[in-house]
Amino acid sequence: MSLAIRELEKTYAGDSEGIDGFLAEHSFPLQEGTTTTFVYRGEAEEVHLLHWIFGLESTLAFTKLGDSDLWYLVMELPELSRVEYKLDVVRDGEHKWIRDPLNPLLAHDPFGANSVYQGVGYETPEWTVPDEEARVGDLEEIAFRSEAFGEERTVQVYLPARYRKNRRYPVLIVHDGSDYLRYAGLKTVLDNLIFRLEIPELLVAMTDSADRFGEYTSNPNHDRFIAQEVPAELERRFPIDPDPSAWGLMGASLGAVATLSAAWRNPGRFGKLLMQSGSFVFTDIGDRNWRGPQWDGVVGLMNAFREAPGRPAERLFVSCGIYESLIYENRSLVPILQATGMDLRYVEARDGHNWENWRDRLRVGLSWLFPGPLWMVYE
């Protein structure tokens, strides 16, 4: 089957009508099997795709259709791929990064929004959108003084629907909680998974950091805050099961490093760890990673952990996108984690280093760590 853009190439005769018809007949990016055509229409000297897929050139040049103002790029993207991207449009020598004007699908993150390409077979999981049948939990903000940081810190706590003070709950502490709420729909996900009995009713404590590189990269103060101060405050205010097997800790990217750091330095505190796209940068020779000196703290932590991992938890969930450079570090970590005897589930996805990737793995990750009663309960 000939691609639609190839047909247009054949029939284009310098008129804009053919292009108008092509744009009107299709939605973009144009998906024809696993072949995808990205299209931009406008005056430009060059157009590039910025995609953050590790392994491909970071920018891919569009081709101009004859003397028209239509630019296109054809590429193969495997089934189930999900790619966030922007267009780099060069005009009068100036580069301007824009979202794809022909694609309404967006993903948001702390830096703004990207256009999203969803490959064949990918669907936004239905458990990530509000379910009118699900009971809805509450968020409560608590503030307390952290001795580790010498200042007041706030933590948002998710209380499940039908929360009762006379029960004892498992608890999960989440790094970058506000981002998980805003960009990964964490509250909706929790409401839905609890309603579907896929995870038990649990409390979720969400921390934030204004200095992620300073606090998340093997910082003893942060380890103390996460593994001692937050748990103590939670136990003081809420009915929590004291058994370490009821305690979980999670994070993404540097938040996953902070998760591993706090758990490793406080063995027996957390029974369950969930780490997504961990920035587990390490070296096999020397102590300076190619990514630069700002990673020295992480490299020191990871090299020490890889040398003597111990058994920081009982059950782990690790996920990573295969389109992100960190896939190398995460895959490298898997056999080390397996060798410790911890119960590990490792999942890869055709996605990048972004919040919707982390959102999409929450169901399998949370239900692995905190299995719900759905097999026995029929309400």
Partner 1 sequence: MHYNCAVMGVIILLGPQRLRPSLARVVADHGIDGRIAAITAGWQEREAEDDELAEHLSGRTVNLCLYRRAERVFASDPELAAAYHARQDSLKRAQELYRLRLDHSMAAVRDLMRLEGESEWLEDELRAAFEVVRRLDDGHVERVREVHADFSKKWTPRKRPAVRKHRRELAKLLAGCDAVAVAGGHVAVLLNRLRLFGMDELFGDLPVLAWSAGAMALGRRVVLFHDSPPQGFRNAEVLESGLGLYRGILPMPHARRRLEIGDRRRVAELARRFAPRVCVPMDDGGYLKIDGPSLWAEAPIRRLTVQGHVERLESTPDELAEGEPS
Chain residues binding partner 1 by CB under 8 A are 133, 162, 167, 193, 196, 198, 363-364, 367-368, 371, 373-379
User: Smallest gap, in angstroms, from Cβ of residue 198 to partner 1?
Assistant: 5
- Sort 10 into a burial class: Cβ within 10 Å, 0-12 / 13-18 / 19+: exposed
Q: Which helix (H) or strand (E) holds 236?
A: helix 230-237
8-state DSSP, 167: S
Given a contact cutoff of 8 angstroms between Cβ atoms, the answer to whether 146 and 223 are in contact is no
User: How many other CB atoms are found less than 10 A from the CB of residue 266?
Assistant: 17
Q: Which is nearer to partner 1, 96 or 162 (CB)?
A: 162
Question: Which helix (H) or strand (E) segment is 143 a member of?
Answer: strand 138-146
CB 276 within 8 A of CB 252: yes
User: Among residues 251 and 372, whose Cβ is nearest to partner 1?
Assistant: 372
Query: To which H or E segment does residue 112 belong?
Result: strand 112-118
Nearer to partner 1, 23 or 136 (CB): 136
Shortest distance in whole angstroms from residue 155 CB to partner 1: 27
Give whichever of 19 and 246 is closer to partner 1, judged by the CB atom: 246
CB distance 282 to 303 below 8 Å: yes
Q: Which of 209, 170, 347 is nearest to 275 (CA)?
A: 347
CB of 33 to partner 1, least distance (A): 25
Q: What are phi and psi of 338, to 5 degrees?
A: -60, -40
Q: Residue 182 or 196: which CB sits closer to partner 1? A: 196
Distance CA 65, CA 239 (A): 65
Q: How far is it, in rounded angstroms, from Cα 361 to Cα 363?
A: 6
Q: What minimum distance in Å lies between the beta carbon of 199 and partner 1?
A: 8
Nearer to partner 1, 78 or 373 (CB): 373
Q: Least Å distance between CB 359 and partner 1?
A: 14
Contact partners, residue 236, CB within 8 Å, separation at least 6: none
- Record the tokens describing residue 264, joined without a space: 């490793």
**Shortest approach of partner 1 to residue 345 CB, angstroms?**
8
Name which of 76 and 379 has its Cβ closer to partner 1.
Answer: 379
Judged by beta carbon, residue 312 or residue 372, the one nearer partner 1 is: 372
Task: Report whether 316 contacts 267 (CB < 8 A).
Answer: no
Q: Smallest distance from the beta carbon of 247 to partner 1, in angstroms?
A: 21
Minimum CB distance to partner 1, residue 271 (Å): 18
Minimal distance, residue 118 CB to partner 1, in Å: 21
To which H or E segment does residue 261 belong? helix 254-265
Structure tokens at 19: 């292009």
Distance between CA atoms of residues 137 and 125, nearest Å: 20
SS3 349: strand
In the complex with partner 1, the residue whose CB is nearer, 127 or 183, is: 127
